[in-house]
Amino acid sequence: MTDVALDPYSCDGHDGLVDETGKILNDETIEILKKQALTQARAGADFIGPSDMMDGRVGAIRTALDSQGFSDVGIISYTAKYSSAYYGPFRTALDSAPRENSKKIIPDNKSTYQMDPANSKEALIESALDQYEGADILMVKPGISYLDIVYRLSTFSNKPIAAYNVSGEYSMVKSAAMKNWINEKDIVLETLLSFKRAGAKLILTYHACDASQWLRDT
């Protein structure tokens, strides 16, 4: 399972190409994402995960994969990826946070293409579009603060719903556990259970190794 986006390779820290006025170039970005997806498929990826939130990229990637003989490579789409403060630790580690240039033109956040945390209905629209374009799995990101979105999509779509337990959520638990403010095992397993209860069929989490060991031990 691989991730498709441009932010790790961009000096601007954005998931798409940016022009001189600060506009994210949707269609031009998709052309690069298709090449990126094909490179990953040739390397052996079973699932391609476009996390960029460009409009129409799922259909374009599906067509590109099929045209090159990769019809069995699935797409796990970041369908409801919100413009969230919970991504901070990951962006710091990857040095991929959005950056303004000296002219203050390029936006320092991803709110022009990631989803508004106040908007829940948009997730239904995006899930319908991604499903129509050929997504095999629909993902909600972040997880804890968006359990209502996980539930909505699980009742709205017949595709498997994934929840992404992101770096900020993980870091808060780990920090509190290090200070002995919480019981880490109990908190983690309760959190993962909440994703499942909301309707998630898959859970992506930094707690995976610890959680799998705890579950084997029970």
Task: For residue 162, give the nearest of 93, 79, 38 by alpha carbon.
Answer: 79
Task: For residue 130, give the nearest of 198, 62, 199 by alpha carbon.
Answer: 62
**End-to-end C-alpha distance for the chain, whole angstroms:** 28
> Catalytic site residues?
81, 141
Give me the half-sphere count of Cα atoms (radius 13 Å) on the Cβ side of residue 7.
24
Mean pLDDT by 10 residues, the chain (218 residues): 88 81 90 97 97 94 98 97 86 63 56 91 95 97 96 96 96 96 97 97 96 93
Secondary structure (DSSP) of 142-158: SSGGGHHHHHHHHHH-S
Instruction: Return the ∠ at Cα 195 (arms to 189 and 200), rounded to 5°.
Output: 130
**Which H or E element spans position 25?**
strand 24-25
Q: Quote the pTM value.
A: 0.89
Residue-wise pLDDT tens digits, 165-213? 999 999 999 999 999 999 999 999 999 999 999 999 999 999 999 999 9
State the pLDDT at residue 15. Answer: 83
Domain ranges of the chain: 2-217
**54 contacts 31 by C-beta, under 8 angstroms:** no
What fold is seen in the domain 2-217? TIM Barrel (3.20.20)
Burial environment of residue 160 by CB neighbours within 10 A (0 to 12, 13 to 18, 19 or more): middle
State the pLDDT at residue 14. Answer: 82
State the pLDDT at residue 89. Answer: 79
